[in-house]
Amino acid sequence: MNRLNWQRAVIKVGSALIAPNGDECSARFLLALARFITISRESGKEIILVSSGSVAAGRSKVKIRHNASIAEKQAMAAIGQTQMMANWQRFFDFPCAQVLLTADDLRDRTRYVNIKNTLRELLNHNALPIVNENDTVAVNELKVGDNDNLGAYTALVAQADTLIICSDIDGLYTADPRKDPDATLISEVHNIDESIYKLAGGAGTSVGTGGMRTKIEAADKCTSSGIQTIIVNGRKGASFDAMLNGSIPGTLFHASNSPKKARRLWLTHTLKTCGRIHVDEGAKAALVDRGASLLPSGITSIEGNFNQGEAVEICFEKQVIAKGLALYNARDLMLIKGKNSQHIADVLGYETTDVVVHRDDLVLL
């Protein structure tokens, strides 16, 4: 029997739970989930929500007599998004924070780093980040397109260890149970291959966009990066009671590695380095002995012309001691090297963070 073990989760909630009638938000299926979020947070766990439902929530406010055009759907999203956020906020005493993203934001290195920093800061300040696609600007070419995959990207950028997809079905079945009465629930998946993808039909409900295929795609992205993925039935309060007790009520997609190990492998072997940061003895000791982040004060020189978010080698006396993602580009680092972090804004006119390489993005070699 698998036990649920997690510390930082992204919880994806589908339109079918937010707006079960296809228009207007409802508390009906969210109370049990809100309780799960509150209790989990009280026990020290971190949660980021990825919430669908803006189009469904705004549907009744945009009167149409035909199939909705893209602009009409974008208008529905603009109206529904604020309702969806307000609907969430009424369950919690802590602040809900709206984060609207497009695929373009996730592809752009600088924006990716900014998203990551913002999510980290929101969690540090005890807020509940609620992510959705920025539907009013995301035309087809710029779209992630469905919130299951957006949930996976969010889990990756937030370095979560778990993605929980709350749907209107108990988990992954051997076939779409709405069409095949003999379909049975699959409680765990160790390896996502073509045979798993073949089990999924198309989009399930009229308000949802993804169906089971996009949930498998999301699980595929996450598990290969060390993030376990669970599909549960968010319509059943019992699903959340079970998870609070450490059980897994739906389908568990096992992670191929621990997130730390997967990230270490990715940082060490997959990422191409674009430059070098040379550090002094104090910075080396901080990194190696204390597992600290790299501050500008310990930097002695810069090599190469790397951008923010690119991988660099960190060297002490010409030896590579670590590899990590730079939070400032080479040009700006030349200006702040050797300086105390509190002077970054004075020198550059802006400050993204007070560290140059965060310890989460750093691997010792």
Ligand X SMILES: N[C@@H](CCC(=O)OP(=O)(O)O)C(=O)O
Ligand Y SMILES: Nc1ncnc2c1ncn2[C@@H]1O[C@H](COP(=O)(O)OP(=O)(O)O)[C@@H](O)[C@H]1O
Q: Is 15 in the site for ligand Y (CB under 6 A)?
A: yes
Q: Give me 60's structure tokens.
A: 């009744």
Q: Could you say whether residue 262 binds ligand X (CB under 6 A)? A: no
What are 90's two structure tokens?
């009424």
Binding mask 69-108 for ligand X (x = CB under 6 A): --------x-------------------------------
- Is 260 in a helix, a strand, or coil? helix
Q: Which two tokens stand for residue 163?
A: 């993605």
Q: Which listed range, 107-115, 172-180, 275-283, 346-354, lies at the site for ligand Y (CB under 6 A)?
A: 172-180
> Which among 54, 63, 55, 114 is positioned nearest to 82, based on CA atoms?
54
Least Å from the CB of residue 176 to ligand Y: 4
Is residue 141 within 8 Å of 107, Cβ to Cβ? no
Q: What is the DSSP letter of 294?
A: B
Q: Which is nearer to ligand X, 56 or 156 (CB)?
A: 56
Interface residues for ligand Y in 207-236 (CB under 6 A)? 208, 210-212
What the block records as the tokens of 294 is 């790299």
- 205 labelled binding-site residue: no
Per-residue contact flags (x/-) with ligand X for residues 144 to 173, judged by CB under 6 A: --xx--------------------------
Residues 16-45 that bind ligand Y (CB under 6 A): 16
* Residue 216 CB, nearest approach to ligand X (Å): 13
Amino acid letter at 13? V
Contact present, 343 and 335 (Cβ < 8 Å): no
Q: What is the 3-state secondary structure (H, E, C) of 26-67?
A: CCCCHHHHHHHHHHHHHCCCEEEEEECCHHHHHHHHCCCCCC
Q: Is residue 209 part of the contact set for ligand X (CB under 6 A)?
A: yes
15 is an interface residue for ligand X by CB under 6 A? yes
Q: Is 213 annotated as a binding residue?
A: yes
DSSP 183: -
CB nearer to ligand Y: give 19 or 327: 19
Number of residues that bind ligand Y (CB under 6 A): 22
- CA atoms within 13 Å, Cβ hemisphere of 277: 36
Is residue 147 a known part of a binding site?
Answer: yes
d(C-alpha 308, C-alpha 49), whole Å? 27
Which residues of this chain interact with ligand X, rule CB under 6 A? 14-16, 52-56, 77, 132-133, 135, 146-147, 208-210
Which residues of this chain interact with ligand Y, rule CB under 6 A? 14-16, 167-169, 172-173, 175-178, 199-201, 203-205, 208, 210-212
Give binding residues for substrate as ranges.
52, 135, 147
